[in-house]
Amino acid sequence: AQRVTQPEKLLSVFKGAPVELKCNYSYSGSPELFWYVQYSRQRLQLLLRHISRESIKGFTADLNKGETSFHLKKPFAQEEDSAMYYCAPPADNYGQNFVFGPGTRLSVLP
Amino acid sequence: DTAVSQTPKYLVTQMGNDKSIKCEQNLGHDTMYWYKQDSKKFLKIMFSYNNKELIINETVPNRFSPKSPDKAHLNLHINSLELGDSAVYFCASSQRGANEKLFFGSGTQLSVL
Q: What is the mean pLDDT of residues B50-54?
A: 76
Angstrom CA distances, B5 to A45, B9, B65, B85, stand at 14, 10, 19, 21
pLDDT for residue B53: 77
- Interface probe with A: pick from B99, B100, B106, most Cβ of A within 10 Å: B99
pLDDT for residue B47: 84
Alpha-carbon dihedral B35, B93, A57, B40, rounded to 10 degrees = 0
Contact B104 A44 (CB under 8 A): yes
Contact B106 A43 (CB under 8 A): yes
Is the minimum CB–CB distance between B109 and chain A shorter than 8 Å?
Answer: no
Identify whether B8 is preceded by a cis peptide bond (ω within 30 of 0).
yes
pLDDT string in tens for chain A (110-residue length): 567 889 999 999 999 999 999 998 876 666 678 899 999 888 888 898 877 666 788 899 988 888 888 899 999 999 999 999 999 876 554 445 566 778 999 999 99
Q: Does residue B78 register a pLDDT over 70?
A: yes
Q: What is the mean pLDDT of residues B62-74?
A: 91
Where in chain A does DSSP place strands (E)?
Answer: 4-5, 10-14, 19-21, 24-25, 34-38, 45-49, 60-61, 72-74, 83-88, 104-109
Is the minimum CB–CB distance between B88 and chain A shorter than 8 Å?
Answer: no
pLDDT for residue A22: 95
Q: What is the mean pLDDT of residues B100-106?
A: 86
Please, what is the average pLDDT of chain B?
A: 88
Smallest Cα distance from A33 to chain B, Å: 8
Chain B CA closest to residue A35? B101
Is the minimum CB–CB distance between B7 and chain A shorter than 8 Å?
Answer: no
Q: What is the mean pLDDT of residues B98-110?
A: 84
